[in-house]
Chains A and B, each alone.
Chain A
Amino acid sequence: AQTVTQSQPEMSVQEAETVTLSCTYDTSESDYYLFWYKQPPSRQMILVIRQEAYKQQNATENRFSVNFQKAAKSFSLKISDSQLGDAAMYFCAYRSNNAGNMLTFGGGTRLMVKP
């Protein structure tokens, strides 16, 4: 079974600075997707960024980028120019291409942004 680990329960960043959230995962598969989701107090999970395992190029979405290290099974999220609206819980998630649409989530990292 796949597992996803987020080792940072809480992180804090100054507004306009850069912060990196860590995620490691364990799998024996080679074909999968990785995701970062944001969960604000409204509780709805919002997709931040996704990475296809067969693509070597790291995904980027505006201020959000990932550092995908397939051999190390590491998938970190970098948030540049942090904004107050970035404050939320962030979850790393794994999806196998061989097991339907099931997402396996990490335990989450609470990001606080200081003005």
Chain B
Amino acid sequence: ETGVTQSPTHLIKTRGQQVTLRCSSQSGHNTVSWYQQALGQGPQFIFQYYREEENGRGNFPPRFSGLQFPNYSSELNVNALELDDSALYLCASSLPGVRGATNYGYTFGSGTRLTVV
């Protein structure tokens, strides 16, 4: 059983540029969520994809966008990068929640550390 793989592990971008981060979900998981974790803080929910559609979004502007592919892998795109976008970006895959289900496991990747200069 493979885990969640994120690429790249580290990235440095210039303010105003665009960036794409990638995530391969765990085998059998069809839901992918993205989180932003600023230094010294807890992760903040960006959005979630289920069956290639966005089905939940946190308090992030539209310049944060995403995609999910038929194999359930996902991309996070950030346009017009700002200095405050510097953070660790975590991807988590899971099965969709079902009341009474025993599996509420979320498998997290090791993240992409994005630095905007």
Task: Give the B-binding residues of A (Cβ under 8 A).
Answer: 4, 6, 31, 33, 42-47, 50, 91, 93, 95, 97, 99-108
Please, which residues of chain A bring their CB within 8 A of the CB of B113?
43
B48 touches A102 (CB 8 A): yes
Contact status A47-B105, CB under 8 Å? yes
Interface residue? B56 (CB, 8 A): yes
Closest to B93 in A: A101
Using A43-B88, A101-B33, A101-B56 as known contacts, say yes or no to A50 and B42 having CB atoms under 8 A apart. no
Q: How far is the CA of A79 from the CA of B106 in the complex (A)?
A: 22
B60 at the interface (CB under 8 A from A): no
Q: How large, as a class, is the contact surface on chain B? A: 20 to 34
**Judging by beta carbons under 8 Å apart, are B42 and A100 in contact?**
no
Q: Are B111 and A43 in contact (CB under 8 A)?
A: yes
Q: How far is the CA of A95 from the CA of B94 in the complex (A)?
A: 13
What residues make up the interface of B, taking CB atoms closer than 8 Å to A? 31, 33, 35, 40-45, 48, 50, 55-56, 58, 88, 90, 92, 94, 96-97, 99, 104-106, 108-111, 113
| Contact residues of A: prevailing secondary structure | loop
Assess the B97–A103 pair: CB atoms within 8 A: no
Q: How far is the CB of A24 from chain B (nearest CB, A)?
A: 14
Specify the chain A residue showing the minimal Cβ separation from B112.
A43
Q: Specify which chain A residues have a CB less than 8 angstroms from the CB of B105 in the assembled complex.
A: 47
